[in-house]
Structures are given as C-alpha cells and as structure tokens.
Structure 1
C-alpha cells in the first residue's frame, strides 16, 4: 500500500509505511524522550514506549488522507500525543484505590479548597501531575494538619501568628509544627511520587 504524503516545504511524495516510518522515526523518538523526562526516577521503558508510539504512527499512516490538505507531520503529532497519553496514563492514575479524588475538598473551616491555590486553566496531561500530587498531599494530611497545609499553601492568608494565637502556643512552637509537617510531606512525596527511598 502507498499513500500520498504532504510536507510543509517539500512536494508531496507517494510513500509506503516503511518509508514513512524511516522518515518520521526521529520525530517519534524525540516525542518519547521529551515525555519520559517528566519521570526522573521511574521513566517508562523505552522499548515499550516506542512500540506504543509506533502503533500510533501506523494508525496515522492508515487513517491519513492527503485530500484534507493537512501535512502528515501535523496529523502525526496529534496521534503521538495520544500515544504519550496511553503510555503514561498509568503513572497518573489512582490505581485500584476506589477513591474519588476532588480538588474541591475543603482544607479548613472557611471552605478554602485546594483548587483555589492550584487552580489552572491547563487541561493538558501536565495537569494530571498536579492532580496526583494534590491527591497525595490530601490523603496524607490529617484533620488537625489541614490548617498547617493552608499555611504552607498561602502564607499571606493563613499566617503562623494567627495559628499560634488560635491554639494558644508561641509563634516559635507554631512554626515548628509547620516545619515538621512540611518535612513529613517532603518525605512522602520523595517516597511515593518520586520513588526515592
């Protein structure tokens, strides 16, 4: 099977899948490397990742039509992004926990929510990283630590002084609680998210 492949700065060429694969393999590898950089300590096995992207390359070739006037590289780009999503989705999913995670879970009595601080218009896959970290933080914050989390997330609204006054302790004691809680979260994130023990 041969298809007419459109290029942005070159004339159209009739190519087999093997010819297309050879021509666009560098684009595929570059996409894989960029996506894998997000996972510093637990990158996805490159052979598996490449296989997923090569399936998307085949689908792009099979479904592509030069009659639409779209360059093949543009059409392939979106297929590769789908492949990246498929290859990396398990890194973001909440495996077998049966828990519904919500960014609008209240952090304190004033109905201050995690989404108020972490709100972002980014609907890309990168936002899943934020959601996974948010989930990890919420799951490891007890009820009496929620005020400490509020201080870490928004020091201007939730001050150490107001926390100290509310609980009848010194500012230094309140600050020590914040530092202890921060170290706890750092250790959890290092172990459970980054894979550093």
Structure 2
C-alpha cells in the first residue's frame, strides 16, 4: 500500500449520499490524472476567519471522511479548537463537485497507527522532522532534522508521533453538483440533523 492509498466502506444502498460519493470517486479514479482523492479542506480560526488548503482524503465510510495531519499545524490547531470543518472535491475532467461539512472527531489510535504503518519510511520520518506551519530557520535546518531522525530510526519500526493523527468529518450535509449545458446544472443536497441520524432530506437545489 502506498502513501496515496485510500480505504473505503462497502456501499450498496441506492439513493444514499455515501453510496453516491463512492460511485463518483470511482469515476474520478478512472479520469483524473493526479490525486482523485485531493480535496479542499476549510477550517475556522479562533477569530472566526476561514482558512482553506488542499489535503488528501485517506478513507471514508458511513462514519465520515478521514484525513491525517500534524495536530500542531495550523489546520490541526483550528480543528481541535473549533471541532468543525468542510470539504470540497472538484473533478474537472468529470465536471463534478461535492461539498460537505459537519463536526469533526479524532480517529482512534488504532486507526492512526494502522494508516501510519502504510506510509513510506521517508514520510514517517517527515512526520517527526517537520514542524508544520511554523517558521523555518532555513532549509538546512529541516534537512538536518530529517537526518537526525533518520539516524535515530535507522533500524526497526518508526513509531507514530503523538502529535500526528487523523480527523474524521461527520457530515450533516453533502451536496452533489454536476455541470449541465446552459448552466442548468444538477445540484442535490442530502441533510441530517445529527451525525448519528438518518438522512432525512434530499433537496434538489437551483443551480
């Protein structure tokens, strides 16, 4: 398994957002040249200002959408502080977009450990060496840190840093958008009142 590996749930029900997302992602994996699981992640800081950046979706099932990061990074601190986030997938080759948002929870240690072990050795070293989102003294300082941790973990397993783990967005809404001629796009939103609840509405929106 590579660092770009993605785990998915088993979806069979029709007219259900996770099943539809699984189908759309499968289409994207066939048509997108690079990283069909790339997604824009939006968070909010303590002042209420939004931030957005690209991350890679690493897994999804009916519990939610999972990605991994350094908890000491800007996005990590913002999610830990606000416990909510949003995502936007855009597959240009298919002219499709998916938006979702909801509360966020931390994945279990077992989940984080299992994914961490699938990462290339260099990526695991990088999780220790990189002080993500903080000022860098110099490029040499980063390379020195990588060399130090490489020497420290020259043999055997590389444990997962306590500050590196995963988040799961448990969406309260998922919107699917598909480009259509003359801007008469197809746009459908699924909604629910709580992460544990059933999807209670499928609303066809104006494009």
Interval containing the TM-score (normalised by the shorter chain): under 0.3
**Which structure carries more relative contact order (alpha carbon 8 Å, separation 6+)?**
2
Higher strand share: 2
Normalised TM-score (structure 2): 0.21
Higher helix share: 1
Normalised TM-score (structure 1): 0.22
Which has the higher Rg, Structure 1 or Structure 2?
Answer: 1
